């Protein structure tokens, strides 16, 4: 049993008709949302911007936007090749590892006491 309500899917023709009702000022945004069962006004405004940009509404279901695409999935882990580091960078990295070891030893000692 589904816990959430599934929104109605509209065809491109239905979207275009709804957008034209809005653009020709036959109906206001609130009235369109109520009459056609849209989830909110933003959905209508998205369709209107698509209509103005492409001349028709676009079916983007299942397609990531440009903002979402780079952040998709698990971030990559980059391995550091120690041979490519300069002497100063290598010393800095060794100091960092030593500080981590000291902190871990301190925490383990505190936990045991």
Condensed to tens digits (0 to 9), the pLDDT of residues 15-31 reads 999 999 999 988 999 99
Structural domain containing residue 102? 82-112
Residue 65 has pLDDT above 90, yes or no: no
Interatomic CA distance for residues 21 and 54, integer angstroms: 17
* Residue 22 token pair: 């809005």
Q: Is residue 69 part of a domain?
A: no
Distances (CA, A) of 57 to 14, 27, 40, 97: 9, 18, 17, 55
Please report the pLDDT score of residue 63 as a whole number: 67
Please report the pLDDT score of residue 86 as a whole number: 87
Q: Is residue 35 part of a domain?
A: yes
Interatomic CA distance for residues 100 and 98, integer angstroms: 5
Q: For 81, left (φ over 0), alpha (ψ -120 to 50), or beta?
A: beta
Please report the pLDDT score of residue 81 as a whole number: 77
- Give the chain's domain count: 2
Please report the pLDDT score of residue 1 as a whole number: 64
Lookup result for tokens 């209107």: 48
Q: Supply the mean pLDDT for the chain.
A: 85
Q: Is residue 7 part of a domain?
A: no
- pLDDT tier for residue 33 given thresholds of 50, 70 and 90: very high
Same-domain pairing of 55 and 89: no
Interatomic CA distance for residues 54 and 19, integer angstroms: 13
């Amino acid at each position: 049993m589904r816990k959430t309500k599934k929104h109605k899917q509209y065809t491109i023709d239905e979207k275009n008709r709804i957008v034209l009702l809005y653009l020709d000022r036959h109906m206001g945004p609130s009235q369109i949302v109520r009459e056609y069962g849209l989830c909110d006004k933003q959905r209508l405004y998205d369709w209107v911007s698509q209509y103005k940009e492409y001349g028709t509404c676009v079916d983007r279901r299942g397609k990531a936007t440009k903002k979402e695409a780079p952040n998709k999935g698990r971030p990559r882990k980059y391995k550091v090749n120690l041979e490519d580091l300069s002497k100063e960078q290598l010393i800095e990295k060794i100091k960092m590892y030593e500080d981590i070891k000291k902190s871990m030893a301190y925490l383990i000692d505190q936990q045991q006491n």
